Structure 1
Amino acid sequence: MGFDRPFHRNYRPVKKGHNSGYSDWAYIVDHLYSDHPEHYTRAFEILQKDIIGLFEYVEPSDINLVTYSFRIHELLIRTCIEVEANFKAILRENTFNPIFRNGPKKGQPRPEKNWNINDFRIVNKTHHLDDYSIIFPHWHGVKNERFPFRQWKKNEPLTWYQAFNKCKHDRLHNFEQASLGNLLDAFSGLCVLLSSQFRTESFSTGSDSLVVNTDNYYGGGFGIGGFLIVDFPSDWTEDEMYEFDWAKLKKEENRFSKIDFNKYS
């Protein structure tokens, strides 16, 4: 059996059936699904604009992945701050009550300001982050497909997140960690996080319009912001999928569920 109502900030496929095409996306724009989602997608699109601007000076290519600079450092810090903000929003809007396990505060609640990458990692279990990939459409070489969370499959730390922490705390001795490769992996990770919550919805203003799909030079599949190509996970089991008719469910008062992240921590 699948889940009979969507979880907050957790996009996953709806089982094929009556009205499943509509049910696959319509709940995302419900105001109870997430708290101010446009706050997060707008930040992403501003970052995307700045990264595309960076490409005017540093060509997106295999050979430039080790390039580092103050500008790249700034963008890496900003991007990872957004990554952390999205992880915290997912945990906060579901159920997550961590405690201190050691020290003088052992057994006491651990506040949000003390949440860290080990806490964020449990989101992978419910959002399949390690099965997403991101493609940069403008590229010279063969390394334009990024897998920002793949290292979690092997129970390894995220290289780009480690780089962020190193050059944030000691830029002088770790400046080279602020590389184009780490920035693009971090930005891909942010795109994955947003996609795993909102699919391709940017929450932009204006009236809805009919979208006509046509052939595309890059193959299509563009995510939020219309620049990066998102390859969504295809490994959801039947038991993990949603199973509801949103046309009926949206009329109910309690139309969303909360993930109990405590059982994963």
Structure 2
Amino acid sequence: MYLLHRKYATDPRHYVRAFLLIQQDMLDLFSYVEPSDRNLDTYSHRIQQLLMRTCVEIEANFTAIFLDNEFSVSGRNFTINDYKLINKSHRLSSFETRVPGWIGDHGIRQPFASWAEEQPLSWYRAYNKSKHNRHENFHLATFDSLIDAFCALNILLSAQFMDEEYGPGGKSIGLSGSDYFYEGDDGMEPSIGDILRVRFPDDWPANERYDFNWQELRNLEDPFENFDYAAYS
């Protein structure tokens, strides 16, 4: 229930709705580009535009996290090097997602895994290069990069809101059918939008795990503490 407290986050539904719109466009794209290893290097204007939208939305979520925690950088806008600090608080590099109906070996994604090794995100670099010089770097905006970015956005929302969609009467969009099911128990859970599945980190250090009684805290004006990103910058 703490996810629904008005002080937990600023207008979370705004960010969830944006993801759900991108997800619908991804499902439309799957009608033309099969989610398969064979299509990882496919690129097109539609894929590049979706990559741009998705990464802009990721940046918007990162910025919102910083602002809600009253973190800022002096005299400039946030960069990806700043956003990497959020891995300290959210452990994004330990999340996994699974893409429905994927054909081949690349259906399970860890789009933030390279941050654990202090390495750049290849899909974000593809976005940045194709944004600033599309003519020369258009080929970098591949289906592979788009899938990683889409999964990254889902992970970022899952890390903040679990599967809460902040819609009236439950889930905002329910998508089901023979194309979207999972066989067996892969240890993953349904995520926002009910399409991707997510595996939450199981490697949290004991001293960083929550231990609180929400019934005691819920009536406080602001029961949440800011994360001190400045201590890690």
Same-fold call, TM cutoff 0.5: yes
Which residue of 2 is the match for residue 262 of structure 1?
Answer: 230
Question: Contact 2:33/2:39 (CA < 8 Å) preserved in 1?
Answer: yes
Matches of 1:158 and 1:217, distance apart in 2? 28
Structure with the larger RCO, 1 or 2 (CA within 8 Å, 6+ apart): 1
Answer yes or no: is 1:77 the counterpart of 2:40: no
Tell me which residue corresponds to 2:144.
181
Aligned to 2:29: 54
TM-score in terms of structure 1 length: 0.81
Query: What residue is the counterpart of 2:176 in the other structure?
Result: none
Whether the aligned pair in 2 keeps the contact of 1:97 and 1:110 (CA below 8 Å) is no
* CA distance in structure 2 between the partners assigned to 1:57 and 1:92 by the alignment: 39
CA distance, structure 1, for counterparts of residue 89 and residue 145 of structure 2: 25
Partner of 2:208: 240
1:151 aligned partner, one-letter code: S
* 1:26-45 equivalent positions in 2, closer than 5 A: 26-45=1-20
Runs of 5+ unmatched residues, structure 2: 172-180
Unaligned segments of structure 1, at least 5 residues: 1-25, 99-108, 209-215
Q: Which of 66, 72, 75 lines up with 1:110 in the alignment?
A: 75
User: Deviation at 1:254?
Assistant: 3.0
Deviation at 1:192, TM superposition (A): 0.8
Which residue of the partner structure matches residue 157 of structure 2?
194
| 1:80-91 equivalence runs, <5 A | 80-91=55-66
- The answer to whether structure 1 residue 172 and structure 2 residue 135 are counterparts is yes
Matched residues in 2 for 1:171 and 1:183: separation?
15
Structure with the higher fraction of residues in helix conformation: 2
Counterpart position of 2:120: 157
Does the CA contact (< 8 Å) of 1:149 and 1:158 recur in 2? yes
Pair 1:204-2:167 in alignment: yes
* Sequence identity (%): 44
Residue range with higher mean Cα deviation, 35-44 or 217-226: 217-226
Instruction: Give the 3-state SS of the residue equivalent to 1:230 in structure 2.
Output: strand
Distance between the aligned counterparts of 2:170 and 2:124, measured in 1? 38
Cα distance in 1 for residues equivalent to 2:132 and 2:100: 33
Aligned length: 221
User: RMSD across aligned C-alpha pairs, in angstroms?
Assistant: 1.4
The Cα of 1:248 is off from its aligned counterpart by 1.6
Between the aligned partners of 1:196 and 1:217, the Cα distance in structure 2 is 22
**Residue identity opposite 1:157 in structure 2:** P
By how many angstroms is 1:261 displaced? 0.7
Structure 1 runs (4+) greater than 4 angstroms displaced: none
Quote how far apart the aligned CAs of 1:207 are. Answer: 6.2
Q: Report which of the two structures shows the higher radius of gyration computed on alpha carbons.
A: 1
Superposition deviation, residue 159 in structure 1 = 0.2
Any idea what the Cα deviations from partners look like across 1:200-234, whole Å, max 9, x if unmatched? Answer: 111111269xxxxxxx7444611000000001000
Q: Per-residue CA shift, 1:135-183, capped at 9, x if unaligned? A: 0021111110011000111111000000001111111111111100000
How far apart, in 1, do the equivalents of 2:4 and 2:47 lie? 33
Give 1:78 shift: 0.1
